[in-house]
């Protein structure tokens, strides 16, 4: 079985102005000098997508942090997947825990968004993960596997879909699950993908996210069924983000 090429994706969230584009330029240089044995992605806020695409070279892909499930219409303030494709984006994150919590997005809506992304020709990064209460209650695997089943469209393939497991309680807190915990959840997600899509489920990338930093990246990225990382705060600075990319040296 061929291991999928790893993806290290940076989610800038609601951070960044034009001055921060210098970090993408610096990342270009770091990769040009030291290489990258993985795909590299930066997802800036909507306001910086156009400029990011102008700054990034072919070593760094640019994506978006969300989109609407519809292709157009009376949805003031929303962005359609086709608009992101028109700008030059390659990936769109959907179903991030902050969207699920702050905007009350449910898995069925996440699936609709992912389908819109895929039908536009882009790659959907579908986020799943449990809260601290769900983990403490022993419900991690039921919660995460149900989210995967309900959030992933029927026509998902390795070419248009990435899954990102992010334990909600670990995002931005400095806490991370044990290596055994990460291995257990990623194995369970892989099993759902294989049950749903057969052998091709083995080729869909599963990223780990949640306080990933250069100090722990190599250990986390070596876990079976971990095919890369979805990085938050550490992706805002080129040096720390590249430190995570180097886990694949």
pTM of the model: 0.97
Name 11's bridge partners.
43
pLDDT above 90 (res 44)? yes
How far is Cα 88 from Cα 14, in angstroms, rounded to an integer? 20
Question: What's the 3-state SS for 73-98?
Answer: CCCCCCCEHHHHHHHCCCEEEECCHH
Average pLDDT of the residues in 67-93: 98
What's the pLDDT score for residue 174? 81
Contact between 58 and 41 (Cβ < 8 Å): no
Q: Which of 98, 105, 130, 166 is catalytic?
A: 166
What's the pLDDT score for residue 176? 79
Neighbouring residues of 191: CB distance < 8 A, sequence distance ≥ 6: 145
Strand residue runs (E) in 150-195: 161-165
Q: Distance of alpha carbon 241 from its chain centroid, rounded?
A: 14
Q: Which of 96, 98, 130, 186 is catalytic?
A: 96
Active site residue 33: no
Count of all residues that appear for the chain in the document: 249
* Complete domains list, the chain, with CATH: 7-248 (3.20.20.70)
Active site residue 96: yes
Tokens coding 148: 């995967």
End-to-end alpha carbon distance in the chain:
21
pLDDT band, residue 1 (cuts 50/70/90):
low
Percent of the chain with pLDDT over 70: 100
The predicted-structure confidence for 138-156, as pLDDT tens digits, reads as follows 999 999 999 999 999 999 9
How far is Cα 247 from Cα 22, in angstroms, rounded to an integer? 23
- Tell me if residue 247 falls in helix, strand or coil: helix
The predicted-structure confidence for 213-232, as pLDDT tens digits, reads as follows 999 999 999 999 999 999 99
pLDDT above 80 (res 83)? yes
Tokens coding 182: 């990460």
The predicted-structure confidence for 3-39, as pLDDT tens digits, reads as follows 899 999 999 999 999 999 999 999 999 999 999 999 9
Q: What is the mean pLDDT of the chain?
A: 96
């Amino acid at each position: 079985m061929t291991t999928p090429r790893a993806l290290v994706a940076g989610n800038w969230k609601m951070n960044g102005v034009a001055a921060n584009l210098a970090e993408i330029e610096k990342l270009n240089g770091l990769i040009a000098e030291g290489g990258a044995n993985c795909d590299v992605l930066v997802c800036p806020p909507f306001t910086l997508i156009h400029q990011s695409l102008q700054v990034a070279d072919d070593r760094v892909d640019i994506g978006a942090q969300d989109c609407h499930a519809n292709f157009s219409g009376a949805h003031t303030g929303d962005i359609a997947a086709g608009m992101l494709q028109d700008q030059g984006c390659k990936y769109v994150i959907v179903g991030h825990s902050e969207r699920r919590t702050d905007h009350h997005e449910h898995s069925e809506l996440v699936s609709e968004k992912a389908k819109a992304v895929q039908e536009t020709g882009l790659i959907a990064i579908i986020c799943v993960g449990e809260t601290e209460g769900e983990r403490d209650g022993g419900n991690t695997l039921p919660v995460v596997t149900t989210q995967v089943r309900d959030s992933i469209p029927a026509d998902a393939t390795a070419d248009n879909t990435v899954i990102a497991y992010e334990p909600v309680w670990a995002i931005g807190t400095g806490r991370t699950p044990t290596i055994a915990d990460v291995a257990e959840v990623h194995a369970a997600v892989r099993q759902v993908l294989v049950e749903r899509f057969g052998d091709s489920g083995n080729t869909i990338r599963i990223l780990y996210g949640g306080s990933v930093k250069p100090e722990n990246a190599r250990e986390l990225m070596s876990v079976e069924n971990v095919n890369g990382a979805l990085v938050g705060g550490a992706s805002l600075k080129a040096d720390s983000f590249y430190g995570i990319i180097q886990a694949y040296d």
